[in-house]
C-alpha cells in the first residue's frame, strides 16, 4: 500500500454559479469530494434597504419591501404595513384584512413552488419540475397582475389596508385557480415525492436537529421540518389568521426531504386558507384612508409575519417625522443561512447544492 500524498483543494462556488440562488459565494474546502470547510460570503446584493427606508415616507417604503424577498413580495408588504399600523395605531377594515391574507397565501404558494422547483433543479432534474412549478406560479402572478398591475414587485398593500378594490374579474379567476391548483400540485408530487433518486439524494441528507434549529433561531418551513410545530400564523395570529382553519405540517427528521415535503404540504394548507378567504370575503372598504405623508407618534413597533421563508419582522422607530427613524428588518433567509456552514461539513459537493437548495434562502433578503 503506497500512501499517495493528497491535498485539499479550495473552490469558489459563486458569486457566479448556476445554482447559487442569487449572488452568493461559498468558499468550499474539499478533500476529494468531501467538504471539510465552508465559508459563506454574502453581501453581493446589498442595497441598503434599511438605510434607504430612513429617507422614504411610510408609504414609499412599501415599494422597497417588494425587493427584499422578491419571490414573496406580498408577504413582505404585509409584514411592513402591519408594523406601520401598529406604530400609527391604524385599524384595517375586515375586507382589507381578508384581501391581505388571501394574497399572502397565494404568494406563499408561488414562493414555495419556486423554492421546490429550484431545489429540484439543484438535484439535477433538467428543468422539468422547475417548469411545472413555474407554470403554476405564473398563474398566480397573473392574478397579481390583475390585482395591482405588477407580477413580482407588487406594492399591493398600503398602511391601512390594500391599495384598491380588486377588479371584478379577479374573483372568477381566483375561483378557477383554487379549483385547478391542487391537481397541479398533486401532479408535481407524483413526479417527485416518491422518486427513488430524489429519496436517495435527500433522505437523511443535511439533517438539522431540533435543538440546533431552535438555538440558531431558524424559522419557517426549515424549523417545522426539524420537528418544531411553530407557525406565527398560529402562535401570534395577525390580520384574520385567527379565524382561519388550517393545519401545520411538521417533519420528523429535519433532513432535506422533510424540508421539501413541508413546503409541498404547506401549499395545500395555503390553498385551504385561500378558499376560506374567498368564501368569507366580507364587503366594505379595503383601506382606511391615511394621508400619504402621515406622521406616526414617536415610539417603536415590531410586527412579524410567517413569511414563506420564516419569521419576517419589521422593527420601526418613529421620531414623529414622515419617515421612520430606524427600520430594522429581521429577514428569515439571513438567519436560516447561518446554519448552512455547519450542515454542509462532511457531505459531498453534490449534497452541497441539495442542502443549500432545501433551505430555500433568497439572497435579496439575506443582503437586504
Partner 1 sequence: MESPFDRNGLFSGLYGFFADLTPESFAWLAYLLAGVVVVFIVINGVMLLTAFETYMERRVLGRFQTRLGPNRVGPFGLLQPFADVFKLLIKEDLRPAMADRLTFFLAPVLMVAAILLVAAVVPFGPNTFLADLNIGVLFIVGIPTIATVAMFLGGWGSGNRFALLGAARAVAMLISYEVPMIVSLAGVLLLAGSMSLVDVVEAQRLPFIVLQPLGFFVFLVAASAEMNRSPFDLMEAESELTAGFHTEFSGIRFGLLQLAEFGELVIISAVLAVIFVSGWQNPFVSPDYAQWLPGQLWFLLKLVFFLLLFTWIRATLPRMRVDQVMAFAWKALFPLAIINTLVTAVLVVAWPEPEYGQLWIMAAINWAVAIACLVLFSRFLERHRERPTASVQLVEIPAEAS
Partner 2 sequence: MPYGLGIAKGMMVTLRNLVRKPVTVQYPEQRVAQHHRFRGEDFVWYEERCTGCASCAKYCPQGIIKIVTAPSGEMTQEGEKYKLEVFDIEIARCMFCGLCVEACPYDALHMGSGFERARPRQSDLVITVDELKASAKKPSTWFRPQLQDRGYDPFQPGDDVSWQDAGREKSVAPTYEEMLQRWVQGR
Could you list the residues that contact partner 1 (CB under 8 A)? 9-11, 17-19, 30, 32-33, 120-128, 131-132, 135, 191, 193-195, 197-201, 203, 225, 229, 231, 233-238, 241-242, 244, 247-253, 257-258, 261-262, 265, 269, 348-353
CA angle 83, 88, 91 (to 5 degrees): 85
CA dihedral 248, 254, 260, 264 (to 10 degrees): -10
Interhelix angle 94-123/256-280, nearest 10 degrees:
150
Distance separating alpha carbons of residues 82 and 96, to the nearest angstrom = 12
Task: Give the one residue of 5, 18, 168, 284 binding partner 2; rule: CB under 8 A.
Answer: 168
Task: Give the one residue of 46, 47, 51, 190 binding partner 2; rule: CB under 8 A.
Answer: 190
Task: Give the one residue of 41, 176, 215, 298 binding partner 2; rule: CB under 8 A.
Answer: 176
Full DSSP string of 83-101? HHHHHHT----HHHHHHHH
Compute the Cα dihedral for 20, 24, 25, 31 and give only its sign.
negative
Q: Is 203 in the site for partner 2 (CB under 8 A)?
A: no
What are residue 326's DSSP bridge partners? 317
Residue 146's binding partner among partner 1, partner 2, none (Cβ under 5 to 8 angstroms by kind) is partner 2
* Closer CB to partner 1, 56 or 234, in the complex: 234
How crowded is residue 253: how many other Cβ atoms within 10 Å of its Cβ? 16
What does DSSP assign to residue 42?
-
Q: Is 146 in the site for partner 2 (CB under 8 A)?
A: yes
* Closer CB to partner 1, 226 or 331, in the complex: 226
Task: Give the one residue of 31, 33, 145, 211 binding partner 2; rule: CB under 8 A.
Answer: 145
Region of 78-86, 96-104, 197-205, 352-360 interacting with partner 2 (CB under 8 A): 197-205
Q: Is 150 in the site for partner 2 (CB under 8 A)?
A: yes
Region of 130-138, 268-276, 299-307, 360-368 interacting with partner 2 (CB under 8 A): 130-138
Distances (CA, A) of 367 to 24, 27, 43, 55, 200: 10, 17, 5, 19, 33
Task: Looking at residues 57 to 116 of the shown chain, list those that interact with partner 2 (rule: CB under 8 A).
Answer: 59-64, 66
Place of cell 371584478: 168
CB of 29 to partner 1, least distance (A): 11
C-alpha cell at 319: 421620531
* Closer CB to partner 2, 9 or 200, in the complex: 200
Region of 190-198, 247-255, 262-270, 325-333 interacting with partner 2 (CB under 8 A): 190-198
* Closer CB to partner 2, 138 or 215, in the complex: 138
Report the side by side order of strands in the sheet with 311-318: 299-306, 311-318, 326-330
HEC-encoded secondary structure of 213-226: HHHCCCCCHHHHHC
C-alpha cell at 93: 377594515
**Footprint of partner 2 (CB under 8 A):** 56, 59-64, 66, 128, 132, 135, 138, 142, 145-150, 153, 155, 163-165, 167-169, 172-173, 176, 187, 190-192, 194-199, 292
Amino acid at each position: 500500500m503506497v500512501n499517495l500524498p493528497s491535498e485539499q483543494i479550495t473552490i469558489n462556488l459563486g458569486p457566479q454559479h448556476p445554482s447559487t440562488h442569487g449572488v452568493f459565494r461559498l468558499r468550499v474546502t474539499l478533500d476529494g469530494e468531501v467538504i471539510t470547510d465552508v465559508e459563506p460570503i454574502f453581501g453581493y446584493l446589498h442595497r441598503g434597504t434599511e438605510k434607504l427606508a430612513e429617507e422614504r415616507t411610510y408609504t414609499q417604503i412599501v415599494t422597497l419591501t417588494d425587493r427584499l424577498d422578491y419571490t414573496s413580495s406580498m408577504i413582505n408588504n404585509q409584514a411592513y404595513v402591519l408594523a406601520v399600523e401598529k406604530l400609527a395605531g391604524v385599524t384595517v377594515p375586515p375586507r382589507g384584512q381578508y384581501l391581505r391574507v388571501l394574497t399572502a397565501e397565494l404568494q406563499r404558494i408561488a414562493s414555495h413552488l419556486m423554492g421546490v422547483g429550484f431545489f429540484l433543479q439543484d438535484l439535477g432534474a433538467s428543468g422539468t419540475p422547475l417548469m411545472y412549478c413555474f407554470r403554476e406560479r405564473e398563474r398566480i402572478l397573473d392574478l397579481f397582475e390583475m390585482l395591482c398591475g405588477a407580477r413580482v414587485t407588487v406594492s399591493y398593500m398600503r398602511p391601512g389596508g390594500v391599495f384598491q378594490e380588486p377588479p371584478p374579474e379577479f374573483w372568477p379567476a381566483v375561483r378557477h385557480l383554487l379549483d385547478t391548483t391542487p391537481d397541479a400540485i398533486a401532479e408535481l408530487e407524483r413526479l417527485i415525492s416518491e422518486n427513488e433518486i430524489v429519496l436517495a439524494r435527500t433522505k437523511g441528507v443535511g439533517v438539522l436537529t431540533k435543538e440546533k434549529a431552535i438555538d440558531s433561531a431558524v424559522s419557517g418551513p426549515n424549523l417545522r421540518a426539524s420537528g418544531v410545530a411553530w407557525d406565527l400564523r398560529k402562535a401570534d395570529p395577525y390580520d384574520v389568521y385567527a379565524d382561519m382553519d388550517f393545519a401545520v405540517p411538521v417533519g420528523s427528521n429535519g433532513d432535506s426531504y422533510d424540508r421539501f415535503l413541508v413546503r409541498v404540504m404547506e401549499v395545500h394548507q395555503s390553498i385551504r386558507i385561500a378558499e376560506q378567504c374567498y368564501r368569507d370575503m366580507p364587503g366594505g372598504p379595503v383601506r382606511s384612508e391615511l394621508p400619504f405623508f402621515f406622521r406616526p407618534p414617536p415610539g417603536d413597533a415590531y410586527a412579524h409575519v410567517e413569511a414563506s421563508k420564516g419569521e419576517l419582522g419589521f422593527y420601526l422607530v418613529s421620531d414623529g417625522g414622515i419617515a421612520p427613524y430606524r427600520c430594522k428588518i429581521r429577514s428569515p433567509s439571513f438567519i436560516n443561512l447561518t446554519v448552512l456552514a455547519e450542515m454542509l461539513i462532511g457531505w459531498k459537493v453534490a449534497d452541497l447544492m441539495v442542502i443549500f437548495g432545501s433551505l430555500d434562502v433568497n439572497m435579496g433578503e439575506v443582503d437586504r
